[in-house]
Amino acid sequence: MQDKLKIFLFTGKGGVGKSTLAKSFSTHLQNKNIKTQNFSFQAQPGDPFNFQEIEHRKLITKYLKKKLKSDLLASFIAESKFFNAIIDVLPNFKSLIFLGFIVDLFKDSESSPQAIVVDGPSTGHFLSLLSSPYQFQEIFSIGILHKDCKKIIEELIKSLHIFYVSLPENLNLNEMNDFSNEVDKIGPYQKSFIINQSYTQYLEEPVQTSWLQQRLVNEDQFFKKCNQEVSKFPFLPFKKDQKLIKALAQQEFPFES
Amino acid sequence: MSLKTEFEIFLGTGGVGKTTLSYSRASALATAGHKVLILTIDPSKRLEDFINVNKAKNLEVEIFNPEESFEKLLEGKQLRPTRISRIIMSKWGGMTEILSLITLSKLLESENYDYVILDTAPGEHFIDFLENKNRVVNFFSEGVSKVISLFNQKKSKNIFQRTLGQGVSKLLNILNDVTGETFVSEFIETLSLIHEFNEEFKSAVQTQKNYLSSSLSKWYLVSNAEQRKYEETISTFSQALKQESVECIGVLNKVLPQTSPVDKDLATREKELIEHLVSNQIDLEKKLLTKFPKIIKFHQIYSDQIEIHVESLSQQWINYDLQNKH
């Protein structure tokens, strides 16, 4: 872990606790003295956990500057109608640039983090993100971008770890399996599943409230039917985000260090 | 296409029960004798799980597939896809929302429905699309058309156009280094191909303007009573919907069976958990009431059978319609 940079990407449906878990995980790593850099697709201004917002346009100009070795040419292209038409027609181009940017963080020697934590987009858009270097490798059949796509894919396969977050409800089972299959179709990526807000992991003794009891029974069935190996995270009744994030940072996150 | 068709559009982030709720809505309307179309744009395609659940005979279920719908467009004009068009029109290619409106307008041309239920893509993606509906129009008039015309004008004698033309060729030389030589010509070819469907794209935008944003449409923002941090989402959605001047209804799904009083004799953790859920639900309901003139509540269903969810929710919809008549 010390000299090998890892990229951790959190995804799942909206409302499953992706952002909270990404922040908990970042805290978890920092508690182990691992230097992290954090990004978020849903960053809020003034976020105390330092998750940076991803500014795609800026990243695109930055990328062009680096590749063309000229600020003038880069701005000329970035502002041109034609180039903007490309970005509009190929919405996933922004995703590609983001992945390229993240992979490049490897190379900035001294200030480089040991881990990158990304609070990623929800399931469908995550799959668009992950498939973007493959799509563009095909679109740009030769040239600098084609080579870069290849590099991005190679780096991601080595260093990306996907955390898929779900809730313990039976109706989510198919979706989890679909997600797993779709990722496998894209490439051989490391991934693990976190089942968040589990009541059975929080409540200790048998409960008296009948509807809650039914929930627990359903949850048990969910875990029995699960095809994937999953980590169970408890439901914690904390109102304050900070408190919840710190408490969840104590959990065992499923990844190889 | 009937002018009396009523549209009901379901919005919300993933995991709130959007597909289940919209399917049971469609099912309730169809059971009452209406001719109903339900179209899902959600790429996670959860509607597949429902297709044969309590299906009334006048209920038509359509699962939107971007590849198929683009292929149909091409067939109609006997055109062949380009390598790039195949990629951008694919499932994860990012053109889903626009293509889904084309599919919808074709369906509306072919059949008269009493109700059309739309199960939208999760999250704010659909909102982005709503806010950028002019993007499609701009794309054709400003983006693609201009690029294409620039290339056709290379030989023009007009000094202004010639300068533009030179700008483009300089740009192309640089781009060739970055993207590879074949890309630029293939990309232009793809733009020209998409440009063939100018009218279809524009009429899809018109469909949205005429029907989805008309007084005959209802927009439901679905929230889940258990979900933390949903307040922000509610604000974002209601802000976007305000600009549409359509009827908006807040939906509070998965409401707890009982909220008060919490039994004092319960074990600590059980009591804490229930109190937390109750207060979360109360906060969310308050928030919905500040943003929406009307809200509907649906009870949490403690079953792992899809059939039971659909049956119970359909019944709750029927009750809602009955109450609303009076």
Question: Prior bond to B66 cis, omega within 30?
Answer: no
**Overall number of domains in chain B:** 2
What mean pLDDT do residues B314-322 have?
94
Q: Is the pLDDT of residue B187 over 90?
A: no
Instruction: For residues B141 and A187, give the distance between their C-alpha atoms in angstroms, rounded to a whole number.
Output: 38
Residues B109 and B226 in one domain: yes
Instruction: For residues A42 and A119, give the distance between their C-alpha atoms in angstroms, rounded to a whole number.
Output: 7
Q: Which residue, among B235, B67, B45, has the nearest Cα to B122 in the 3D structure?
A: B45
Residues B16 and B122 in one domain: yes
Output the pLDDT for position A201: 95
Residues B160 and B37 in one domain: no
SS3 letters across chain B? CCCCCEEEEEECCCCCCHHHHHHHHHHHHHHCCCCEEEEECCCCCHHHHCCCCCCCCCEEEEECCHHHHHHHHHHHHCCCCCHHHHHHCCCCCCCHHHHHHHHHHHHHHHCCCCEEEEECCCCCHHHHHHHCHHHHHHHHHHHHHHHHHHHHCCCCCCHHHHHHHHHHHHHHHHHHHHHCHHHHHHHHHHHHHHHCCHHHHHHHHHHHHHHHCCCCEEEEEEEECCCCCCHHHHHHHHHHHHCCCCEEEEEEEEECCCCCCCCCCCCHHHHHHHHHHHHHHHHHHHHHHHHCCEEEEEECCCCCCHHHHHHHHHHHHHHHHHHHHC
Per the model's pLDDT, the better-predicted residue between B171 and A158 turns out to be: A158
Cα dihedral across residues A119, A125, A126, A129: positive or negative? negative
Q: Is the pLDDT of residue B124 over 70?
A: no
Burial zone of A240 (CB within 10 Å; 0-12 exposed, 13-18 middle, 19+ buried): exposed
Chain A partners within 8 Å of B172 (Cβ)? 82
What mean pLDDT do residues B154-158 have?
46
Highest mean pLDDT out of A119-123, B154-158, B204-208: A119-123
Output the pLDDT for position A243: 94
Q: Name which of A111-115, A156-160, B121-125, B280-284 the model is least confident about.
A: B121-125
Residue B270 forms part of a structural domain: yes
Q: Which residue, among B128, B61, B65, has the nearest Cα to B91 in the 3D structure?
A: B65
Residues B220 and B290 in one domain: yes
Q: Is the pLDDT of residue B125 over 80?
A: no
Q: Is the pLDDT of residue B217 over 60?
A: yes
Could you give the angle at the alpha carbon of B84 between the alpha carbons of B83 and B88, nearest 5°?
125
Residue where a domain terminates, one of B145, B162, B195? B195
Residues B107 and B235 in one domain: yes
Residues B229 and B151 in one domain: no
Chain A partners within 8 Å of B179 (Cβ)? 140, 143-146
Residue A174, chain B, CB below 8 Å: the answer is yes
Residues B190 and B259 in one domain: no
Name the CATH superfamily, with its identifier, for domain A6-54+100-248.
Answer: P-loop containing nucleotide triphosphate hydrolases (3.40.50.300)
Q: Is the pLDDT of residue B162 over 80?
A: no
Q: Which of B49, B227, B302 sits opposite A214 (nearest CB)?
A: B302
Residues 6+ apart with CB under 8 A from A235: A197, A198, A199, A201, A202, B273
A contact test, residue of B304, B309, B313 with most A CBs within 10 A:
B304
Output the pLDDT for position B252: 94
Q: Which two tokens stand for residue B215?
A: 């007084």
**Is residue B249 within 8 Å of B220, Cβ to Cβ?**
yes
Residues B184 and B314 in one domain: no
**Is residue A55 within 8 Å of A98, Cβ to Cβ?**
no
> Cβ–Cβ of A205/B256 closer than 8 Å?
no
Residue B206 forms part of a structural domain: no
Highest mean pLDDT out of A120-124, B189-193, B247-251: B247-251
Residue B56 forms part of a structural domain: yes
Q: Name which of B40-44, B127-131, B258-262 the model is least confident about.
A: B127-131
> Cβ–Cβ of B143/A175 closer than 8 Å?
no
SS3 letters across A96-154? HHHHHHHHHCCCCCCCCCCEEEEECCCHHHHHHHHHHHHHHHHHCCCCHHHHHHHHHHH
What mean pLDDT do residues B167-185 have?
71
> Cβ–Cβ of B146/A81 closer than 8 Å?
yes
Residue A72, chain B, CB below 8 Å: the answer is no
Chain B partners within 8 Å of A139 (Cβ)? 83-84, 87, 183
Per the model's pLDDT, the better-predicted residue between B261 and A222 turns out to be: A222
Sheet holding A230-234, edge to edge: A52-53, A36-40, A115-119, A6-12, A160-166, A190-198, A230-234
Output the pLDDT for position B93: 65
A contact test, residue of B125, B126, B174, B306 with most A CBs within 10 A:
B174
Chain B partners within 8 Å of A239 (Cβ)? 276, 279
Residue B200 forms part of a structural domain: no
Average pLDDT, chain B: 79
Phi and psi, residue B16, nearest 5°: -90, -10
> Cβ–Cβ of B139/A237 closer than 8 Å?
no
Q: Is the pLDDT of residue B161 over 60?
A: no
What mean pLDDT do residues B93-120 have?
84
Output the pLDDT for position A117: 96
Residue B204 forms part of a structural domain: no
Residues of chain A with pLDDT under 50: 1-2
Give the nearest chain A residue to B306 (CA atoms): A171
What percent of chain B lies above the pLDDT cut of 90? 25
Residues B282-316: b if buried by 16+ CB within 10 A, e if exposed: eebbebbeebbeebbbbebbeebebeebbbbbbeb
Instruction: For residues A133 and A55, give the distance between their C-alpha atoms in angstroms, rounded to a whole number.
Output: 18
Instruction: For residues B123 and B127, give the distance between their C-alpha atoms in angstroms, rounded to a whole number.
Output: 8
Residues B185 and B219 in one domain: no
Question: Where are the domains positioned within chain A?
Answer: 6-54+100-248
Helix (H) or strand (E) holding A51: none
- Contact map slice: B 262-281 vs A, CB within 8 A: 263, 265-267, 269-270, 272-277, 279
Output the pLDDT for position B144: 58
Provide the β-strand partners of residue A37.
Answer: A116
Q: Helix, strand or coil for residue A238?
A: coil
Q: What is the longest distance spanned by two Cα atoms in chain A?
A: 70
What is the number of CB-based contacts under 8 A between chain A and chain B? 199
Q: Which CATH number belongs to the domain containing residue B27 in this structure?
A: 3.40.50.300
Residue B207 forms part of a structural domain: no
Residues B127 and B143 in one domain: no
| Closest approach of A40 to chain B, Cα-based (Å) | 15
Output the pLDDT for position B51: 75
B contact test, residue of A89, A90, A220 with most B CBs within 10 A:
A89
Residues 6+ apart with CB under 8 A from A154: none
Domain that holds residue B170: 137-195
Residue B306 forms part of a structural domain: yes
| Closest approach of A255 to chain B, Cα-based (Å) | 25
Chain B partners within 8 Å of A133 (Cβ)? none
Q: Which of B87, B143, B224 sits opposite A138 (nearest CB)?
A: B87
Q: Is the pLDDT of residue B240 over 90?
A: no
Q: Is the pLDDT of residue B164 over 50?
A: no
Instruction: For residues B189 and B229, give the distance between their C-alpha atoms in angstroms, rounded to a whole number.
Output: 46
- Contact map slice: A 194-213 vs B, CB within 8 A: 199, 202-205, 207-209, 211-212
Grade residue B295 by pLDDT with cuts at 50, 70 and 90. very high
CA distances to A188, A203, B59, B280, B312 from B275, in Å = 44, 14, 41, 8, 26
Residue B290 forms part of a structural domain: yes
